[in-house]
């Protein structure tokens, strides 16, 4: 087993560059860190190019035996702790990271889903990651993002998705207004959150709806608001009318879930007791 001991090794330098979007785009790969995420990647049959393993972590038993056995099936690079720390982005690295090929994402929107989530300029990687994780939890398989939204392959985003990155089709659009018009042509009403309306999210049925979540500081851009069909707000009870973008998205997605669950329960009740 050969161990890379120099930070200036060409391969290590190449891997480090993947922290930048430019190089991720060029190589069509991205970085995934930590044992949990690596297991998810293996389970989801992600196309793993290379796994970087910190050899001190093998000795320390930081990486469990079963995972090491799994890892060995892939192309592995063993590095010293010093080299590993020069690549990692996290404070307490777990000694494994992988270079993974980007999902062969289709840019064709799936118009069979009940709801479509659209992000207009989300900037915070943690917020994007959290939103992807929530989308995953409600069984939706895609998300539309404007091109000024933070890159979904940003290491911080990938980390906070808890594996949703491997399952969600992220469709980046050059022209969000045109994409919204296409979504509308396919039978969806487009919902924009706004403070300047009295429509409440509780009065919307969330079937065949596209929900736009705006930028953290400036909300939804004017031209996108202008093409939307319905403005809604999340009723609040406090002095300040302000929610974190990830939380606001979560509340709306779970209003969809609540109505869906209630509809399923009614149908089950009908089938079991009325018929």
Residues at the site binding a copy of itself, with contacts judged by CB under 8 A: 126, 130, 133-134, 136-140, 160, 162-164, 167, 200, 202, 234-244, 246-248, 250-251, 254-255, 257-258, 260-262
- Please, what is the minimum distance in Å from the beta carbon of residue 127 to a copy of itself? 9
Report how far residue 128's alpha carbon sits from residue 226's, in angstroms, rounded to the nearest whole number. Answer: 24
Report how far residue 219's alpha carbon sits from residue 213's, in angstroms, rounded to the nearest whole number. Answer: 8
- Please, what is the minimum distance in Å from the beta carbon of residue 33 to a copy of itself? 16
- Please, what is the minimum distance in Å from the beta carbon of residue 210 to a copy of itself? 18
Kindly tell me which of 1 and 217 has the beta carbon lying closer to a copy of itself.
217
Kindly tell me which of 88 and 160 has the beta carbon lying closer to a copy of itself.
160
Q: Which of 33, 11, 10 is nearest to 154 (CA)?
A: 33
- Please, what is the minimum distance in Å from the beta carbon of residue 249 to a copy of itself? 8
Strands laid side by side in the 96-101 sheet: 3-4, 76-79, 48-54, 96-101, 29-33
Kindly tell me which of 146 and 160 has the beta carbon lying closer to a copy of itself.
160
Kindly tell me which of 219 and 246 has the beta carbon lying closer to a copy of itself.
246
- Please, what is the minimum distance in Å from the beta carbon of residue 92 to a copy of itself? 12
Q: Which of 57, 140, 137, 151 is nearest to 97 (CA)?
A: 57
Kindly tell me which of 237 and 274 has the beta carbon lying closer to a copy of itself.
237
Q: What angle do CA 198, 133, 106 make, to 5 degrees?
A: 95
Q: What is the separation of C-alpha 270 from the centre of its chain, rounded to a whole number of angstroms?
A: 37
Contact 121, 221 (CB under 8 A): yes
């Amino acid at each position: 087993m050969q161990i890379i001991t120099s930070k200036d090794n060409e391969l290590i330098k190449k891997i480090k560059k993947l922290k930048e979007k430019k190089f991720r785009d060029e190589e069509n790969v991205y970085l995934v860190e930590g044992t949990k995420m690596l297991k998810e990647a293996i389970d989801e049959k992600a196309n793993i190019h290379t796994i970087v393993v910190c050899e001190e972590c093998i000795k320390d038993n930081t990486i469990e035996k079963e995972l090491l056995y799994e890892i060995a099936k892939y192309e592995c690079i063993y590095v010293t702790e010093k080299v590993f720390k020069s690549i990692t982005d996290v404070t307490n690295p777990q000694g494994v990271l992988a270079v993974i090929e980007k999902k062969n994402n289709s840019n064709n929107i799936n118009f069979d889903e009940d709801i479509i989530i659209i992000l207009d300029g989300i900037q915070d990687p943690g917020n994007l990651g959290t939103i992807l994780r929530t989308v995953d939890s409600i069984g939706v398989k895609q998300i539309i993002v404007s091109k000024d939204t933070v890159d979904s392959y940003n290491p911080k985003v990938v980390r906070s998705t808890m594996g949703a990155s491997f399952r969600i089709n992220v469709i980046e659009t050059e022209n969000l207004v045109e994409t919204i018009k296409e979504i509308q042509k396919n039978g969806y009403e487009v919902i924009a959150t706004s403070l300047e309306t009295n429509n409440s999210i509780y009065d919307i049925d969330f079937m065949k709806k596209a929900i736009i979540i705006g930028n953290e500081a400036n909300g939804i851009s004017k031209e996108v608001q202008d093409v939307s069909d319905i403005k809604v707000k999340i009723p609040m009870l406090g002095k300040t009318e302000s929610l974190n973008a990830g939380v606001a998205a979560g509340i709306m997605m779970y209003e969809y879930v609540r109505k869906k669950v209630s509809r399923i329960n009614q149908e089950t009740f009908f089938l079991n007791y009325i018929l």
